[in-house]
Amino acid sequence: MTAAADLPRVAADTADRLARAEPLKALLTPMADVRASLATQATRVTPAGALAGMPVVVKDNICTLEFTTSCGSRILEGYRSPFEATAIARLKAAGALIAGKTNCDEFAMGSSTEHSAYGRTHHPLDPERVPGGSSGGSAALVAAGAVPAALGSETGGSVRQPAAFCGVVGIKPTYGRVSRYGLVAFGSSLDQIGVFGRTVSDAARVLRAISGHDPLDATCEDRDALALPAEPENLQGFVVGIPKEYFPPDLDPGVRRACERALGLLKQLGASLREVSLPHTAHAIPTYYIIAPAEASSNLARYDGVRYGPRFDGAVDVRALYRSTRGQGFGPEVRRRILVGTYVLSSGYYDAYYRRAQRMRALIAQDFRTVFDRGVDLLFTPSTPSPPFKAGEKLGDPVAMYLADIFTVTANLAGLPALTLPIGRVDGLPVGGQLIAPAFLEDEMLEAAFALERVVPATGDA
Amino acid sequence: MSGTAWEAVIGLETHVQLRTRSKMFCGCSSAFGAPPNTNVCPVCLGLPGALPTVNGRAIQLAVRAALALNCQVHVRSIFARKNYFYPDLPKGYQISQYEEPLATEGSLAFTSPDRGRVTATIVRLHVEEDAGKSLHDRFPKATAVDLNRSGVPLVEIVTGPDFRSPSEARAYLLALKEVLEYADISDCDLEKGSLRVDANLSVRRAGDTALGTKTEVKNINSFAFVEKALAVERDRQIAVLAAGGRIDQQTMLYDAKANAVRPQRTKEESKDYRYFPEPDLPPLVVPEAWLTEERTALPELPAARRERFATQYGLPAQDAAVLVQSRAVADYFEAVVGAGAEAKPAANWVMGEALADANARGGALRVPAGAVARLIALVKEGAVSHQAGKRVFAALAEGGGDPRAIAGSLGLLQVADINALARWVEDVLAAHAAEVARYRTGETKLLAFFVGQVMKASQGKADPKLVSPLLLERLGG
């Protein structure tokens, strides 16, 4: 907690730190606006809140009253939401300062933050590399030490993958743990707001503040806010499953070494390790790339230039207005996914694609239930198949880009909570280890993360 | 063309606005007539980040509609998105139901003008939200959009291909409207667009069992046009087929001004709605308690009530039909009977004076049922004549009060005093010496004339039953 008198200083210091991080191009809000808003917010903060004085940056697809919400897209350039997301209202009620909006792949579609209409964000450790995505701006600013925590959003790994790339903690809660009200929809059945923190504790505290039932989101479960566990002495009694499908032969050797070291540490902490199988894992990426674009094609239909956002004119009739606005307002990756989504939902193809994908999704979820029902408490996997890649490396090859999410999409498809934490470095670049837990058992996942965080050499070479 | 050789096969899709205060998926008012774009919020404007939540009241009314139409109500149903682009559809999709609707397999019996009692099948009944309204005539060369109606709760009621003529389709709609109004499900106000109809129509040779190629008839903006629109499309199809042509499966738009149909341009058409389950809403589960509640709350429906009016009160079918047309009128009639009036006179007074007054006064039944019953008693005991009773009724409607007191103050209580009657008879006969002479030469039908004159002289107060004998006595002497 921060004393009320310190708040103006915290606000000014935060603005200074964000200004120093400007070369990363992680923040979309102009610095002058950030500074002015932080100064105002500092005078209004709830001083007794659990997050009093904690500055938090927010991915640009979460609605805020303080700043515009563009979703990294031209089609929402300058858009100011008349309401704020439930998660933002809860952060403010807990005393946090909203410190600006962060860059992301357009409408959260991407794994590198290169698909932003406002330019790419740089990796804090190597400007030639990507910070991951789609919540790359949030991850980069936490990694750079500009803020202790940030909000992102996940549809297929958009918090965990950039968190792993940038060497910070990222949590994707159970679907239904955090209200989606005010999160601009991409794939509604997969979307969930997630958190970044420099430490497990920072991330967990922010998650606790934003979690809990919200009558404005019918898919948000009627549960109390997440209870934070105490940091455990050891992991005696924990059974950690190692799904063999997540350690394929072509896994990056550095990532493999870091994971093996982390597994050894889990064992030293008293956890018992068990190899398990999630047999439908190979179908996760194709399944995801049917369901997410299908929902996106519908969710993004509202951006038509009729009611808000820029209207790309010269249109003679309403069809032409749609064509010019959507043709010029959306970037190529968003257009690609709208086309894919429209195709898989069309009447001749619905059964072959969308319905089959839903069946496969159920099988993938069943894989996890089966493993958890057999006494496994948590799963440990690599968070990404490789360390951060170079900018431009995968831009021309969408499938290669999609495969960057291969270890993260399963938790979204199954609605499970998952977390990544830094477990070492390869050639100076961060590697993340992932924990996946049964639905609504974030507390057990956090216990294991606390214990591992204490012993793992997060910045040491693996 | 030969009208007898062909028959139409018609199915109807009716959209009915549910009588709720707020919209289907947000708290905005669903009231009609507010200034454009004032009953709106992030949810019904489809702003980025907004999410729908279900209005429980709308579901209750939809369940009631399903029960009233003898449907099987599915405890678990699924919302689906119907995707299409239109400027008055703010999300680019309408939240509706598709593969798993709220209710299926219902029926509604009605009286066909051609075939007597017919039972229409209700194939499905599902819940959905309305779109906004495009206004093409407000601004020159521009279309304006009013989103007050966006998100207003509807049920769509789909029949089988059960109707054989436009007039039969209309009879079904009247029966449907009656049921929905009766059970307080919808106000069915056609001017406000709270009941809208699309139709599927094909024709075939009478006696054929296979169905012809159908067209969809849309834009039937008023109830009054249903029959006309369907007749125009039926005749168009018959003409095409009679000339050896074939019917294209397409959507026809009805133009009321020209009383004609024209095919919708294919560009206006989006046949593929890309339905898929609405991920923002979990499956709709109707609590068992709601089913019980709505089943209990369901009033006696018009068909059953007509039947009962005929048997319990011995009313002619025509009377029962008139009284039951409106639930308020039927309730009123039963209240008059309940206050002690006999059924037939009660029916006559309600259908006559009460309905005439209500129609002239915007629908309000202004005279309390108890007062009507007392007035009927006054007429029956002969204290006021039927004619005078109507004046008492009018006075009751204007100012209320007790019927006998009003009859007294208006001087309408009938006079049975033989001396007073004798005086009026004397005066009338004295004043009409010529007619008296004619009567006495055999023109006896003049008796009615003398009775009328006596009634006139007495200002209606003379008891006509006593006047005739008196006259006969005086004239016959």
Contact status, residue A53 vs residue A45, Cβ threshold 8 Å: yes
**φ, ψ (nearest 5 deg) of residue A20:** -65, -25
Q: Provide the β-strand partners of residue B14.
A: B157, B197
Tens of pLDDT, residue by residue over B298-310, are: 888 888 899 899 9
Q: Where are the alpha helices (DSSP H) in A7-76?
A: 7-20, 31-42
Tens of pLDDT, residue by residue over A333-378, are: 999 999 999 999 998 899 999 999 999 999 999 999 999 999 999 9
Ranking A127-141, A299-313, A322-336, A369-383 by mean pLDDT, the lowest is A299-313
Averaged over B121-141, what is the pLDDT? 92
Could you state, in order of their start, the residue ranges of all structural domains in chain B? 3-292, 300-409, 418-476
Q: What is the rounded distance in angstroms from the CA atom of residue A271 to the CA atom of residue B298? A: 62
3-state secondary structure of A417: coil
> From the CB of residue B89, how many other CB atoms can be counted at a distance below 10 Å?
25
* CA distance readout (Å), B60 to B107, B340, B380: 19, 37, 47
Contact status, residue A367 vs residue A73, Cβ threshold 8 Å: no
Partners of A320 on chain B (C-beta within 8 Å) are: none
> From the CB of residue A163, how many other CB atoms can be counted at a distance below 10 Å?
38
Query: Which residues of A have a catalytic role annotated?
Result: 59, 134, 158
Q: If you search the block for the tokens 């008196």, which residue do you land on? A: B470
Closest CA to B229 of B216, B242, B213: B216
The predicted pLDDT at position B2 comes to 46
Domain B418-476 belongs in CATH node 1.10.10.410? yes
β strands within A401-454, DSSP E = 418-426, 429-436
As given in the structure block, the two tokens for residue B279 are 């991920």
3-state secondary structure of B120: strand
Q: How far is the alpha carbon of A393 from chain B, nearest alpha carbon, in Å?
A: 32
Q: What is the rounded distance in angstroms from the CA atom of residue B190 to the CA atom of residue B109? A: 22
Looking only at the bridges linking them, the beta strands covering A55-59 and A97-102 are: parallel
Confidence band (pLDDT; 50, 70, 90) for A315? low
The residue of chain A nearest to residue B89, with distances taken between CA atoms, is: A302
The CATH superfamily label for domain A1-462 reads Amidase signature (AS) domain (3.90.1300.10)
Averaged over B410-431, what is the pLDDT? 80
pTM above 0.90, yes or no: no
The predicted pLDDT at position A99 comes to 97
Tens of pLDDT, residue by residue over A397-435, are: 888 888 889 999 999 999 999 999 999 999 999 999 999
For chain B, percent helix, then strand, then coil, each to nearest 5?
Answer: 40, 20, 35
Tens of pLDDT, residue by residue over A84-110, are: 999 999 999 999 999 999 999 999 999
Contact status, residue A418 vs residue A432, Cβ threshold 8 Å: no
In this structure, chain B runs to a length of 477
What are the residues whose beta carbons fall under 8 Å from the beta carbon of A232, sequence distance 6 or more? A447, A450, A451
Partners of B44 on chain A (C-beta within 8 Å) are: none
The predicted pLDDT at position B416 comes to 65
As given in the structure block, the two tokens for residue B457 are 């002289």
The predicted pLDDT at position B402 comes to 84
Nearest CB to B51; choose among A181, A294, A350: A181
The predicted pLDDT at position B3 comes to 46
Check the CA dihedral B397-B399-B405-B408 and report its sign. Answer: negative
Q: How far is the alpha carbon of A71 from chain B, nearest alpha carbon, in Å?
A: 10
Tens of pLDDT, residue by residue over B11-50, are: 999 999 999 999 999 999 999 889 999 999 999 999 999 9
Cis peptide before B134 (omega within 30 of 0): no
**Cα atoms in the Cβ-side hemisphere of radius 13 Å centred on A179:** 29
| Cβ <8 Å between A219 and B282 | yes
Could you state, in order of their start, the residue ranges of all structural domains in chain A? 1-462
Partners of A79 on chain B (C-beta within 8 Å) are: 48
| Cβ <8 Å between B272 and A82 | no
Closest CA to B25 of A387, A30, A218: A218
The predicted pLDDT at position B149 comes to 95
According to DSSP, residue A461 is labeled B
The predicted pLDDT at position B397 comes to 79
Amino acid, res. A250:
D
As given in the structure block, the two tokens for residue A433 are 């280890």
As given in the structure block, the two tokens for residue B340 are 């002690």
A-interface mutation test, from B45, B51, B94, most A Cβ less than 10 A away: B51
The predicted pLDDT at position A89 comes to 97
Confidence band (pLDDT; 50, 70, 90) for B1? very low
Closest CA to A62 of A184, A189, A245, A205: A184
Check the CA dihedral B286-B291-B293-B294 and report its sign. Answer: positive
Categorise residue B58: left if φ over 0, alpha if ψ from -120 to 50, beta otherwise: alpha
| CA B436 from centre of chain | 55
B-interface mutation test, from A186, A300, A307, A342, most B Cβ less than 10 A away: A307
Closest CA to B113 of B169, B191, B31: B169
